[in-house]
A and B are shown apart, each in its own frame.
Chain A
Amino acid sequence: MLKIKNLQAKVDDKEILKGIDLEIKAGEIHAIMGPNGSGKSTLASVLAGNPGFEITGGEALFEGKDLLDLAPEERAREGLFLAFQYPVEIPGVSNMTFLKTALEEIRTHKGLPPLSAKEFMQLLKQKQELVELKTSLVNRSVNEGFSGGEKKRNEILQLAMLEPKLAILDETDSGLDIDALRVVAAGVNKLRSEQNAFLVITHYQRLLDYIVPDVVHILFEGRIVKSGSKDLALQLEEKGYDWLREEVVGG
């Protein structure tokens, strides 16, 4: 589904990604862990097409298409979704209008007719239950006045509505208490299938207790320095990032 080769990127003349290789297949969940500043969120932003980052080398193919050649909205319509670490507030635009607009764009791209108001409401209600988001929040302006946990659940609601092929969760667990974390993880687990894939970016192993990855990658100073099974995350949790630093620098 996603094939990344030697991807390099910088922001404000600072090199952040120094050659990332990564392949994700349908049905898989990959986790990326790493210390602060290792480039985790940059990787997410670059894949989603954030114009604040400059690609300096490498390539990324998504379902065989040159991802880096597509505008951010085209990537989204092709089925790439980013659950933001810091979801943005859009005053005055109701969550519902936003979801409806986004869903229509994506359905149009797939050649599907727009949903009727009734169909849309039914779908929304069903997905809303999945993430246990209050109806009042669906009617409010996008993310405006939402708590940290509500914002993250709102991201997963969008994920559930838009049904992407590849979802990147950028530190979705940050700022969540344990109950909210369970809700978010349960939502993701219900949404996973043989047809889609997830790239879960996290700083802590905790999330991976609930969303169990097939592969864990460790990102360090802009490179993936280790990949392994979910045990790698446990090992990292136990030994800390210092162990990694020594191992990489030493090796």
Chain B
Amino acid sequence: MSKDEHLLSTLATNEYDYGFTTNIEMELAPKGLNEDTIRYISEKKNEPEWMLEWRLKAFKHFLQMSMPDWQNFPMPEIDFQGISYFAAPKKNQLKSLDEVDPELLDTFNKLGIPLEEQKLLSGVAVDAVFDSVSVATTFREKLAEQGIIFCSFGEAVQNHPELVKKYLGTVVPQTDNVFAALNAAVFSDGSFAYIPKGVRCPMELSTYFRINSQNTGQFERTLLVADEGSYVSYLEGCTAPMRDENQLHAAVVELIALDNAEIKYSTVQNWYPGDKEGKGGIYNFVTKRGICKGKNSKISWTQVETGSAITWKYPSVILKGDNSVGEFYSVALTRNKQLADTGTKMIHLGKNTRSRIISKGISAGNSHNSYRGQVSIHASAPGSRNFTQCDSLLIGDRCGAHTFPYIENRNSSSVIEHEATTSKIAEDQIFYLNQRGIDTEKAVALIVNGYASEVLNKLPMEFAVEARKLLAVSLDGSVG
């Protein structure tokens, strides 16, 4: 992370400027989930009636849905009534870094995160007060000059209701899955971006720029619309491990690309994975989907997943427009007792659509890492192609790598290619690097980075540098 970004992220995560998180209100937030909870959230956010109705409708769906049972890990018991649904992530603030898990601090230091930011990330009360409004505003003004809207979801509901109404829930319907329904009912906040026709967004949009992203983590909702001929690159997440009181995270991301538009969405997810036994880690159940609605449009997902006790996540693309392109580049690293079931769906509906999937799983410790991918070429999509490369790397002999491809092709002029490999880090590779003065930990980091380089190279440069460091740090102590 560059100095500027450090500063920005420090600035942007200050709770001081964002109205609704006073301590009193947080304490008053009722636990439990019922219609009143949803009315409470909607009222606190001063939402219009249509938004409340949308939430209530989602809640009705939620009540009728059951937990998924197809994933490759036992679903944990989740007490939906035991959760407080209104922005309360910082209720148990720690007094100093002495109270933080020392291993977490060690990781912070290896990643070179400044002290004040360490406190922020691990939930320690921060004294330093910066004026975050001015920085965020500067960026926003610059974007506004080109007609780009980039704001919190809550602000978008207030200021751009026509856009929100038009696109909300059109890619991930409320009924998609139980977590998507829950999110639709209780989402706290999130990001909204609209890129107007023909505009190339001049900077990478990042949650860093948005105030108060820390407080919306649990049920975040993101909606990005790229109008005809526009381009946007969006960065989500942070390489620093974030501690959070909330165990369940259920975010929804919807991307819409109209004719000739391109969206590039990059994520680095490093939520607290729990201790060595996996205790206290985040359950990350995310629904991310984009639609290439217009012809010649393109959506590209790149993700680096290293955190969370459980990751359940399938960033997908619906290729509706003719000649549209969907891409999914993923590195998922699991260690200790982490569980990841992640992959993508590429649904080809339009003619001559193309999709490309590069998935690199890395399993260490006692972890289990599954790739689950669906490629579906419909009868309406002649001349389409998919290429899937799905690789698994095992470190040690107590972990598992699993691959679950679902492939269907309903026309004769389309082609699906699937390649899969499973490998272990060879001892002769490690010895070779040792013989050049490189110790085993660094050797493994080099080999793993090499293995994942095809995906890492898809990240915006600065993010890629951080991600490489993150992979190296995440594997410390996994070998030998």
Contacts and interface: CB of A to CB of B under 8 A. Distances in A.
Interface stretch (B5-13, B52-60, B148-156, B423-431): B423-431
A92 B450 contact: yes
Contacts of B432: 84, 87-88, 90
B434 A71 contact: yes
B435 A72 contact: yes
Contacts of B453: 92-93
Interface in B428-473: 428-429, 431-440, 442, 446-447, 449-454
A92 B457 CA distance: 11
A218 interface: no
Given A76-B437, A101-B442, A102-B438, A51 B449 contact: no
A67 to B, nearest CB: 13
A41 B351 CA distance: 59
Contacts of B449: 92-93
Contact of A102 (B428, B429, B436, B451): B436
A92 B391 CA distance: 13
B426 A73 contact: no
A76 B451 CA distance: 25
A98 interface: yes
Contacts of A82: 435
Interface in A90-124: 90-93, 97-98, 101-102, 105-106, 109
A229 B427 CA distance: 38
A17 interface: no
Interface in A26-83: 48-52, 71-73, 75-77, 81-82
Contacts of B431: 50-52, 72, 88
A149 B348 CA distance: 47
Nearest to A82: B435
Interface in B359-418: none
A9 to B, nearest CB: 16
B429 A92 contact: no
A88 B434 contact: no
B448 to A, nearest CB: 9
A73 B429 contact: no
A132 to B, nearest CB: 21
Contacts of B439: 71, 73, 105
Nearest to A45: B431
Nearest to A72: B434
B442 A51 contact: no
B437 A51 contact: no
B312 to A, nearest CB: 28
Chain B interface helix/strand/loop/mixed: helix
A72 B437 CA distance: 8
Interface string B189-224: 000000000000000000000000000000000000
A109 B437 CA distance: 9
A76 B429 CA distance: 15
Interface string B82-118: 0000000000000000000000000000000000000
A45 to B, nearest CB: 9
Interface residues of B, number: 23
A174 interface: no
A92 B449 CA distance: 7
Given A88-B426, A90-B432, A73 B450 contact: no
Contacts of B437: 73, 76-77, 102, 105-106, 109, 162
Nearest to A75: B435
A158 interface: yes
Contact of A49 (B426, B433, B434): B434
Contacts of A141: 450
Q: Which of A71, A81, A101, A106 has its CB near the most chain B CB atoms (within 10 A)?
A: A101
Contact of A97 (B427, B446, B454): B446
A92 B451 contact: yes
Interface string A132-152: 000000000100000000000
B438 A90 contact: no
B447 A93 contact: yes
A109 B433 CA distance: 16
Contacts of A49: 434-435
B172 to A, nearest CB: 34
B36 to A, nearest CB: 54
Contacts of B452: 92
Q: Which of A71, A75, A82, A90 has its CB near the most chain B CB atoms (within 10 A)?
A: A90
Nearest to A104: B437
Contact of B438 (A73, A81, A88): A73
A76 B435 contact: yes
Given A88-B429, A101-B442, A73 B447 contact: no
A101 B446 CA distance: 9
Nearest to B442: A101
Q: Which of B437, B442, B449, B450 has its CB near the most chain A CB atoms (within 10 A)?
A: B437
Contacts of A90: 429, 432-433, 446-447, 450
Q: Which of B433, B439, B447, B454 has its CB near the most chain A CB atoms (within 10 A)?
A: B433
Given A75-B435, A88-B431, A98-B433, 10 more contacts: A49-B435, A72-B434, A73-B437, A91-B450, A92-B452, A97-B446, A105-B436, A105-B439, A105-B442, A109-B437
Interface of A: 48-52, 71-73, 75-77, 81-82, 84, 87-88, 90-93, 97-98, 101-102, 105-106, 109, 141, 158, 162
Q: Which 8 A-B pairs have the closest CB atoms?
A: A92-B450, A93-B450, A72-B434, A102-B436, A105-B437, A92-B453, A76-B437, A88-B432
29 contacts: A48-B435, A49-B435, A50-B431, A51-B427, A51-B431, A71-B434, A71-B439, A73-B437, A73-B438, A73-B440, A76-B434, A76-B436, A77-B437, A84-B435, A90-B433, A90-B446, A90-B450, A91-B450, A92-B449, A92-B450, A92-B451, A93-B447, A93-B449, A98-B433, A101-B438, A102-B437, A102-B438, A105-B437, A162-B437
